[in-house]
Structure 1
Amino acid sequence: MCSDACLHHLYPKQLVLAMSTQYSVLVVGGAGFVGHHLAAGFLADPTFAVFVLSRSAASSKNQLKGAKYIAGDLTDRPSIKAVVEDVRPTVVVHAATPSPVTGTAKEYECVNFLGTRNLLKCAKESQHVRAFIFTSSSTLAKGAVHDNLDETCALANSDPKAPAYARVKANAEIMVLHANYPKPVEFEAEDASEGANWAGYLATASLRLPFVYGTGDHTAIPGVLNALAEGQTTTTIGDGKNLWSYCSTGNAATAHILLAFALLKPPSQIDASRRVDGEAFNINDGSPFPFWGFPKVCWKFAGYDPKPFPKVTHLPNWFVLSLATFLEWVYWMFTVGTKRPYKLGMQQVEYMCYTHTYSIGKAQKRLGYEPKLDFENDVKKAVEWCLDEGGWRAKLKGNKLVKSS
């Protein structure tokens, strides 16, 4: 996280002193997997008071001591406006989203686009909100193969065949970045005083995250452990060599904190070559890892580590992609578009088949982002959390493939 030493390294002394005043951050979707870790990151920095907005705020088991939880729905603009007026956040972090795997096109449109528009409008009308961070997704890039893409890549909203999640996420990010309108430098002295009015002004930026791993995961790693429970450890789609960019929850949180400070930076302190407002940034661990190697690491920490590893069956991409297309059509027809396949949806299959890697050079240069990489240890902690807290140790007990669980 961003310590005092980190701040003095990134910013001049006078700016660090200005930042010693406590700000407030509203983490929307902060009861979810990624959002919980973002809230924890901000909470660990004494610069910020942390508020969490979530539909499940009252019932969430992810509540952090020291953060205030507020129930709210992004699709209800009047209630969101009331929350923003009550909390008066300096920074809004928008991390709410339906599942990229099981969410429907309608849910994405309601939450990821219309909900983002509601939140963005409320933030811009607020006298107190100065910065808006959109927690975006690397999957918004156009095409099935993403090979070391940077932030100038074409986006999925221009491809009608792209997954709905990617298209809507791209449209939402574009909307957020177009809303960027920071206060000009001539207001800097005025804004240093207490009670400055920020209505109509807003510095916005976006962080594109790939596959995020860490403790508290109820989707990805449980899916991997389910494959182990069902004995699905020897089948691979494609040649199994496709690489992926992964991101630890710690690195995701660090990037959000760095971006928040950068967006709050006084205009006179901004170097034109390092501007961050109105910009998108790829964030990940910086070291790609084989997509099909990730489940093997997870299985190892769950107790599956055969020597030698069994012979793997490789299913051709075309076959599984055709099957996924058929399943999507069947689900759409019989559920009237309200459900999608959990295991073989088109988006999941494309993930399995193709490389998805992204350059973090821009974030390193402009945000001073340097990922901490302890991949296997972080994955081990995440798997152990699923085993102990997620109930998977009991589910795998007695499984012949698991030597110790």
Structure 2
Amino acid sequence: MSHSVLIFGGCGFLGCHLVKHFVQTPEFASVHIISRSATRSKFHIDGAIYHTGDLTDPDLIKRLILEIKPDVIVHAATPSAVTGTRKEYELVTIRGTQNLLKISKDSKYLQAFIYTSSSTMAKGAEHLNLTEDCSLANEDPQMPPYARTKAIAEIMVLEANKPLKKPSRNSSWEGHLSTASLRFPITYGSHDTQGIPGCLNALQNRQTNTILGDGKNLWSFCSVFNAAKAHSLLASALLNPDSARPTAAGQAFNINDGHPRLFWSYARTAWKYAGHKPSLNERTWYLPAAALLVLASFLEWFYWIFTIRRKRPFKLGRQQVEYMCFTHTYCIEKARERLGFEPVDDFEGGWRRLFCGL
């Protein structure tokens, strides 16, 4: 049976890859996108249908869902983890998700709801091979607002899980919904508007010999291919449950490439394929994490006071410092077991194709 999918946030970096993957997956006959930038986005994918809409406008979203009649919704819309403000997180991440869940449960046709979440919303500055049952950022008021609001939104999504028992072809799904979430760390690939430009900016400013922290912290990165593949696997698992596997409904799943790497390998690989060749006598400077955290906290308060909570430090906020100085690794065994997810580990190849077009 073919299905229809509706993607919120399908015009962004990860979103455009999700759209392309669903369009190329035979199980999904129609792929719709609702985005504020639907008419002006550079990342349109042939075969997809675009609608202009804002997640914070529930009346418009309700009309579009009634018109499209999707079987599955992918909620990938989110303010930037780097430049987003508390107000945006409250409005889009929490209130937008809350409204979308209510509208979804009112639909007679909608069966599955997937939330595109973040591994980095786990509690604490350092994450060591965490599983999905770890404590989340909503439990700590000192955690960055992006992490806390993503955690709150994911909890709402998972608590909304109420699958229809023994559905038939003509069953009404009103009042029912199968929900799940996918947690991603730093994701890399084409159309990235933050990570890669940041690396190239550092290269242009000759900042390639400065390391924040001791440079030994590991990260679980995720290619956009693996991220998109995980979405379609989860959609299939929610729409067509396999009795031979534990259920995916009501569950969160860590998704990444499966092999942790040094955090600074991300930037160094980007610099390498951008043509950078470090000199043999180049000295590397290591800036201590403790001092950087103090500086980041001061900048957060400075911006908070003098911009009336409208802006955050772009390059040296506390969240960015924690990313660059501490280990963030996550276990994907649950996704392997319940979704049949097996990542393609092609870190070097992905970067080579990105920069060299190979």
TM-score range, shorter chain: over 0.9
CA contact (8 A) 1:53 1:72 kept: yes
- In structure 2, what is the equivalent of residue 264 of structure 1? 239
Matched, 1:343 2:326: no
1:272-312: CA deviations, max 9, x gaps?
Answer: x5110000000000000100121111000000022437221
**Distance in 2 of aligned mates of 1:309 and 1:219:** 30
Q: Which runs of 5+ in 1 are unaligned?
A: 1-20, 386-405
CA displacement, residues 323-360 of structure 1 (integer Å, 9 cap, x when unaligned): 11111111111111111111101111110110000000
Report runs of 4+ in structure 1 exceeding 6 Å deviation.
none
Q: Which of 336, 340, 348 matches 1:364?
A: 336
* TM superposition shift of 1:112: 0.7
Query: Which of residues 313, 317, 322 is equivalent to 2:285?
Result: 313
**Which protein is bigger by CA-based radius of gyration?**
1
Quote the Cα distance in structure 2 between the aligned partners of 1:255 and 1:175.
21
Q: Is the Cα contact below 8 Å between 1:216 and 1:382 reproduced in 2?
A: no
Structure-to-structure mapping, 1:94-173, within 5 angstroms: 94-173=75-154
For residues 384 and 141 of structure 1, what CA distance do their matches in structure 2 show? 35
Deviations 1:182-205 (A, max 9, x none): 0112xx3xx22xx43111110000
Answering whether residue 210 of structure 2 is matched by residue 238 of structure 1, we say no
Q: Residue type of the partner of 2:177?
A: L
Aligned counterpart in structure 2 of residue 89 of structure 1, from 59, 66, 70: 70
User: CA-to-partner distance for each residue in 1:38-88, whole Å, 9 max, x for gaps?
Assistant: 111100012211001101001111111110000111111111101110110
The match for 1:16 is none
**1:157–1:167 contact (8 Å) kept in structure 2:** yes
TM-score, structure 2 normalization: 0.97
Q: How does 1:161-200 map to 2 (within 5 A)?
A: 161-185=142-166, 188=167, 191-192=168-169, 195-200=170-175
Offset at 1:252? 0.4
For 1:110 and 1:384, the matched residues in 2 are separated by 40
Q: Which of 74, 88, 92 lines up with 2:55 in the alignment?
A: 74
| Aligned-partner SS, 2:33 | strand
State the number of aligned residues.
356
- Please tell me whether the aligned partners of residues 156 and 166 of structure 1 are also in contact (alpha carbons under 8 angstroms): yes
* 1:46 corresponds to which of 26, 37, 42: 26
Counterpart CA distance in 2 for 1:222 and 1:258 is: 30
The structure-2 alpha-carbon separation of the partners of 1:65 and 1:151, relative to structure 1 and needing over 3 Å to count, comes to: same
CA contact (8 A) 1:215 1:381 kept: no
Give the whole-Å Cα distance in 1 for the aligned partners of 2:92 and 2:264.
31
Aligned match of 1:32 in 12, 16, 25?
12
Q: Tell me, what secondary structure is at the counterpart of 1:50?
A: strand
Q: Which residue of 2 aligns with 1:217?
A: 192
Alpha-carbon distance in 2 for matches of 1:119, 1:34: 20
> Normalized against structure 1, the TM-score is what?
0.86
Q: Which amino acid aligns with 2:119?
A: S
Alpha-carbon shift at residue 146 of structure 1 (Å): 0.3
**How far 1:237 sits from its partner (Å)?**
1.2
Provide the secondary structure at the position in 2 that maps to 1:285: coil
Tell me what 1:17 maps to: none
Identity fraction in percent: 54
Segment of structure 1 superposing worse, 160-169 or 45-54: 45-54
In structure 2, C-alpha distance between the alignment counterparts of 1:384 and 1:92, rounded to whole Å: 35
Contact preservation (8 Å) 1:217, 1:382: no
Conservation of the 8 A alpha-carbon contact between 1:221 and 1:383: no
Give SS of 1:132's match. strand
Report how far residue 384 of structure 1 moved. Answer: 4.9
Using the TM superposition, give the Cα deviation of residue 127 of structure 1 relative to its aligned residue in structure 2, in angstroms: 0.7
Q: In the aligned structure 1, how far is the partner of 2:317 from the partner of 2:250? A: 33
Greater helix share, 1 or 2? Answer: 1
Gaps of 5+ in 2: none
Aligned residue identity for 1:38: L
Using the TM superposition, give the Cα deviation of residue 382 of structure 1 relative to its aligned residue in structure 2, in angstroms: 3.1
Q: Secondary structure at the match of 1:365?
A: helix
